[in-house]
């Protein structure tokens, strides 16, 4: 068989044979894996943490990949300059009854390169035979004709969250178009560059392009699949808002010997203030924290009951002897608002530690919200709690006068937040999507009423009047948001096959 | 009057006239100020945080300054290589009845240059007209013939703590020797390079050089004078030991959305653990923390009653509306063991903060000890307390097995500590020293039973059988141990005059 002939047996056909006729897991041809690996590696080598020129390079890369689809491409910008734009593309199908918009984001969380493992840098993608901390070794890419199979990982910021999502959607489209296939619906693609910063300008751009972006349903390619490795559909997300609390000690660092016991220490104040907020099993003690939570519907409860029971295995793989809560399941705990400490900082520890009373201490908090919560109301509860502990709450570093007026001062600042979103599973669209995803895989699909992660879907739902569902593809251990982010390449290959079927059937 | 003639009116004579005949504050001649300023600036430009080659450069600088005294100089080394050595010098006075050893240290606390103010770097000394944060301006050095007077500051790591002490002792000696004056006692000088690291090798070197270093009394030139600016003598120090506590979460950083509320967060654990240790007014809640404290004697209480009552002024200058404790004076609080947080760290805050559940959280603690405390016993109390909160306590990062065996794990590590020391004020030496210091100044001398700071004096007292007293010279606002350390140059000039009188009279 000639090489050209082998290539002509397209991924599409293989998928159909595998998934429908023989019930084998669909696979992406090896030549295609090599081509996509090189493209994805180049994509991941472009920094994506917000620097405007770099974000534009990402945009150029995405529009370059989209050109092969022949779709109409537009770059949608905020009125303010230097904001990472949205990349939009559309494909109109004559006679289609539905318009489905596929969304992913190309920006990544901030990086602290020093925290990454030796030999792994955020924007110099490297290939490992398995996770580096589980015996994986740095490796050259497989020779031509050999698959990128098994547990192979590409390490880079954004690899899992969410350049894999961008790549999956574009490649699924490219395959359809190349083969002259017709999707079942009109297809629109939208790639955002500010998701990790709270989608600050998304609402503005949606508003300004309401007709262009009009759709019936949105499918989001973001987040990791279930820890069991099974394909997943999630019908909702938690909301989110970031808050920082800073407490104050003396106006200059003091010698801990000459002043210790006499001058108040801001680290002790922060510790004592935070300790009033949460008990040892993780229950938040702030007044009314849970009162507005909407519980699961009977339908959602039924879906939850079918989720694989593998929490103990997951906990053990994470080195955890015990998880939080008072016996609730993980999914039940994720349907509660959280108060997470993202980071603590006061002066230094380790070799840089000095015998001082620091001047300030800061906690970075992450408030996840569930259906019923409102992000501004949740912050208000937190502020009221801090005030109830005797603190003067301000949004700026205290002035010299304020310092002398108040014994306890807390600066509380916050970003722009958004509320949780949930799509009913009973909708025809929801039921059809479950069937389409199941058609692209031999594994049983895990259906969740919602994931613990956050996306600004509520803003989109309200503004655009659409149904939104998430079909993630990344591995659960992709270290997203952390150092050593990686993508299991098999997840990308499987994800592309999955999305191909969704586009063809839905 | 020729320049030579002006110079021949020595500092020594001026001091005697000023302090005994006319009761004016002794002053250091302006030419001498210029010469010493240049020398001190060069001294402070040599990094002194522990890098062996740099520490040797400090040693060379010190021996260079000492050469002018004609004293016998020796560099005393630990058996282990790369340990900063002690510099020793002696001057034998025929017929002297007493041997007084003068001690200071040339090493400084670690530095984080990024935390220092703009234009101020740890080892590029710069001159300011006053503290930079109180309106002081960067300035050129005064023209020849103009004094370095008023509130002038030299900014550098080690300027106040304790290169000023080294310089004071050497210059006082140099002046005596140059003028052919005879000190009242045999004089020995000792300069250490490991004080800020807990004087790890001091005991070994003292033991190996017991005869060489034999003395009746030690006078320590270290620490700041009383905040009132009055000269000070301190008859004791607190002991000290550093401890670090690290708590553990998952074995890799987790997305705070997908795992928040379920995976334990080490920052919350640390906060909740620390909060059990201390109440809001600063009282330590660890069992038996205070039980072995030796209270002040009636004599010490009488000295304390004479201390200037200026705590409210000091607190206001530090931007503090309220100090800790339940109404005790500062000196009473400093005579209690402390549990200070030097630093907190878990992941990141501010622009580097990410929505993660961190893997670890660390608190750097500083335990100051008073008479009656033992540093190992104090650590034991802390460890027992942590265990009583349900923690498995270890001295290493937990193994995978330990992680799965224990829900709560704390790594507790500590440095080498030392206990508090106090010299009775009733000794003839003590009384004579008080008179000598008072003779060198027109200001009333502040006499303290002990300072809040720490030095390994107990080790020296026990090993060498000597009386030890501290006569500090640095300004109280020298930012010692912190960023932007500085020395008020007038304090150096006054300190040199003070030590001249001590050496002549004692």
How many contacts (CB atoms, under 8 Å) link A and B? 343
Does A402 lie at the interface with B, CB-CB under 8 angstroms?
no
In chain B, residues 182-211 whose CB comes closer than 8 Å to chain A = none
Does B120 lie at the interface with A, CB-CB under 8 angstroms?
no
Which chain A residues contact residue B268 at CB under 8 A?
Answer: 274, 278, 282, 341
In chain B, residues 279-318 whose CB comes closer than 8 Å to chain A = 280, 282, 315-316, 318
Which chain A residues contact residue B476 at CB under 8 A?
Answer: 258
What is the average pLDDT value for chain B, to the nearest integer?
92
At B506 the pLDDT is 87
Q: Over pLDDT 90: what percentage of chain B?
A: 81
User: What stretch of H or E contains A421?
Assistant: strand A421-422
CA distance A204 to A215: 17
Interface-testing mutation among B236, B248, B341, B378, with chain A (most A C-beta atoms within 10 A):
B341
Could you tell me which of A114, A112, A126, A147 has the C-alpha nearest to residue A32? A147
Does A51 lie at the interface with B, CB-CB under 8 angstroms?
no
Q: Over pLDDT 70: what percentage of chain A?
A: 95
* A169 in Cβ contact with A102 (< 8 Å): yes
Listed range (A1-10, A213-222, B344-353, B425-434) with the worst mean pLDDT: A1-10
CATH 3.30.70.360 fits B239-295+335-414, yes or no: yes
Environment class of residue A119 by beta-carbon count within 10 Å: exposed (0-12), middle (13-18) or buried (19+)?
exposed
Nearest-5° angle of CA A220, CA A225, CA A228? 160
At B10 the pLDDT is 33
CATH number of A239-293+337-414: 3.30.70.360
Q: Over pLDDT 90: what percentage of chain A?
A: 81
**pLDDT(A26) > 90:** no
Listed range (A301-315, A344-358, B27-41, B340-354) with the worst mean pLDDT: A301-315
Does A265 lie at the interface with B, CB-CB under 8 angstroms?
yes
Strand runs labelled E in B33-134: 72-76, 86-91, 99-105, 126-128
Does A350 lie at the interface with B, CB-CB under 8 angstroms?
yes
- Average pLDDT (A428-451) is 92
Q: How far is B11 from chain A (nearest CA, A)?
A: 32
What digits encode the pLDDT tens for the residues B396-437? 999 999 999 999 999 999 998 999 999 999 899 999 999 999
Q: Do B258 and A452 touch (CB under 8 A)?
A: yes
Interface-testing mutation among B319, B330, B394, with chain A (most A C-beta atoms within 10 A):
B319
Dihedral class, residue B261 (left if φ above 0, else alpha if ψ from -120 to 50, else beta): left
Dihedral class, residue A272 (left if φ above 0, else alpha if ψ from -120 to 50, else beta): alpha
For residue A312, give every residue at least 6 positions away whose Cβ sits within 8 Å of its Cβ, in sequence order, or none. Answer: none
Report the chain B residue with the minimal C-alpha distance to residue A283. B261
Does A326 lie at the interface with B, CB-CB under 8 angstroms?
no
CATH number of A3-238+420-505: 3.40.630.10
Q: Do A263 and B338 touch (CB under 8 A)?
A: no
Q: Do A333 and B242 touch (CB under 8 A)?
A: no
CA distance A217 to A498: 17
Nearest-5° angle of CA A78, CA A81, CA A82? 100
- Average pLDDT (B215-234) is 93
Confidence of residue A328 (pLDDT cuts 50, 70, 90): confident
Q: Is the ipTM of this complex over 0.85?
A: no
What digits encode the pLDDT tens for the residues B56-103? 999 999 999 999 999 999 999 999 999 999 999 999 999 999 999 999
In chain B, residues 434-473 whose CB comes closer than 8 Å to chain A = 451-454
Q: Where in chain A is the domain with CATH 3.40.630.10?
A: 3-238+420-505
Size (chain A), residues: 506
Which chain A residues contact residue B120 at CB under 8 A?
Answer: none
Does A113 lie at the interface with B, CB-CB under 8 angstroms?
no
Which chain B residues contact residue A250 at CB under 8 A?
Answer: 318-320
Q: How far is A319 from chain B (nearest CA, A)?
A: 5
At A24 the pLDDT is 66
CATH number of B29-237+421-505: 3.40.630.10
Which chain A residues contact residue B398 at CB under 8 A?
Answer: 319
Q: Where in chain B is the domain with CATH 3.40.630.10?
A: 29-237+421-505
pTM (predicted TM-score)? 0.80
Q: Do A253 and B357 touch (CB under 8 A)?
A: no
What is the average pLDDT value for chain A, to the nearest integer?
92
Q: How far is A31 from chain B (nearest CA, A)?
A: 34
Helix, strand or coil for residue A374? coil
Q: Where in chain B is the domain with CATH 3.30.70.360?
A: 239-295+335-414
Does B327 lie at the interface with A, CB-CB under 8 angstroms?
no
Confidence of residue A4 (pLDDT cuts 50, 70, 90): very low
**pLDDT(A327) > 90:** no
What digits encode the pLDDT tens for the residues B116-132? 999 999 999 999 999 99
Q: Do B271 and A267 touch (CB under 8 A)?
A: no
Interface-testing mutation among A242, A249, A273, A341, with chain B (most B C-beta atoms within 10 A):
A341
At B21 the pLDDT is 40
Which chain B residues contact residue A244 at CB under 8 A?
Answer: 349-350, 353
Interface-testing mutation among B241, B340, B409, with chain A (most A C-beta atoms within 10 A):
B340
Does B407 lie at the interface with A, CB-CB under 8 angstroms?
yes
Confidence of residue B7 (pLDDT cuts 50, 70, 90): very low
Q: Which residue has the higher pLDDT, B14 or A31?
A: A31
Q: Do B263 and A324 touch (CB under 8 A)?
A: yes
Which chain B residues contact residue A362 at CB under 8 A?
Answer: 349-350
Q: Where in chain A is the domain with CATH 3.30.70.360?
A: 239-293+337-414
Environment class of residue B21 by beta-carbon count within 10 Å: exposed (0-12), middle (13-18) or buried (19+)?
exposed
* B284 in Cβ contact with B339 (< 8 Å): yes
Confidence of residue B299 (pLDDT cuts 50, 70, 90): confident
**pLDDT(A19) > 60:** no
In chain A, residues 356-395 whose CB comes closer than 8 Å to chain B = 356-358, 361-364, 366, 368
* B161 in Cβ contact with B501 (< 8 Å): no
Could you tell me which of B122, B125, B127 has the C-alpha nearest to residue B141? B127
Interface-testing mutation among A112, A120, A274, A349, with chain B (most B C-beta atoms within 10 A):
A349
Does A403 lie at the interface with B, CB-CB under 8 angstroms?
yes
């Amino acid at each position: 068989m000639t090489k050209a002939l082998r290539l002509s047996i397209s991924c599409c056909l293989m998928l159909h044979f595998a998934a429908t006729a023989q019930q084998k897991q669909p696979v992406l041809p090896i030549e295609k894996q090599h081509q996509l690996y090189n493209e994805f590696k180049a994509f991941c080598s472009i920094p994506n943490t917000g620097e405007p020129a770099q974000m534009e390079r990402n945009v150029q890369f995405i529009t370059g990949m989209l050109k092969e689809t022949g779709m109409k491409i537009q770059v949608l910008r905020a009125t303010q300059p230097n904001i990472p734009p949205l990349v939009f593309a559309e494909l109109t199908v004559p006679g289609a009854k539905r318009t489905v918009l596929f969304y992913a984001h190309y920006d990544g969380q901030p990086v602290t390169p020093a925290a990454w493992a030796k030999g792994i840098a955020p924007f110099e993608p490297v290939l490992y035979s398995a996770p580096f901390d589980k015996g994986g070794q740095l490796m050259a890419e497989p020779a031509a004709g050999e698959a990128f199979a098994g547990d192979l990982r590409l390490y880079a910021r954004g690899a899992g969250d969410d350049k894999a999502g961008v790549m999956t959607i574009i490649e699924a489209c490219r395959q359809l178009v190349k083969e002259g296939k017709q999707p079942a619906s009109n297809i629109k693609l939208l790639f955002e560059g500010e998701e990790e910063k709270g989608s600050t300008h998304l609402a503005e751009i949606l508003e300004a392009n309401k007709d262009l972006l009009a759709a019936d349903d949105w499918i989001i390619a973001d987040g990791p699949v279930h820890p069991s490795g099974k394909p997943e559909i999630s019908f909702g997300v938690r909301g989110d808002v970031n808050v920082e609390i800073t407490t104050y000690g003396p106006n200059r660092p003091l010698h801990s010997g000459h002043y210790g016991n006499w001058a108040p220490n801001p680290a002790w104040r922060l510790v004592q203030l935070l300790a009033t907020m949460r008990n040892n099993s993780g229950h938040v003690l702030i007044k009314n924290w849970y009162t507005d939570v909407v519980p699961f519907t009977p339908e959602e409860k039924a879906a939850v009951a079918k989720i694989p029971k593998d929490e103990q295995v997951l906990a053990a793989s994470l080195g955890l002897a015990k998880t939080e809560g008072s016996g609730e399941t993980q999914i039940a705990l994720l349907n509660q608002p959280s108060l997470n400490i993202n980071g603590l900082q006061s002066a230094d520890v380790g070799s840089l530690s000095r015998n001082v009373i620091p001047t300030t201490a800061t906690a970075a908090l992450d408030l996840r919200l569930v259906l019923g919560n409102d992000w501004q109301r949740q912050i208000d509860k937190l502020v009221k709690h801090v005030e109830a502990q005797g603190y003067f709450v301000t949004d700026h570093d205290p002035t010299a006068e304020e310092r002398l007026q108040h014994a306890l001062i807390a600066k509380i600042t916050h970003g722009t937040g958004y509320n949780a979103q949930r799509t009913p599973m009973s909708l025809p669209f929801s039921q059809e999507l479950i069937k389409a995803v199941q058609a692209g895989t031999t594994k049983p699909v895990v259906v969740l009423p919602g994931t613990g992660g956050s996306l600004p879907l509520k803003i989109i739902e309200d503004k655009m009047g659409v149904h939104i569902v998430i079909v993630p593809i990344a591995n659960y251990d992709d270290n997203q948001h952390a150092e050593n982010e990686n993508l299991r390449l098999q997840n990308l290959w499987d994800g592309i096959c999955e999305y191909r079927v969704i586009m063809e059937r839905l």
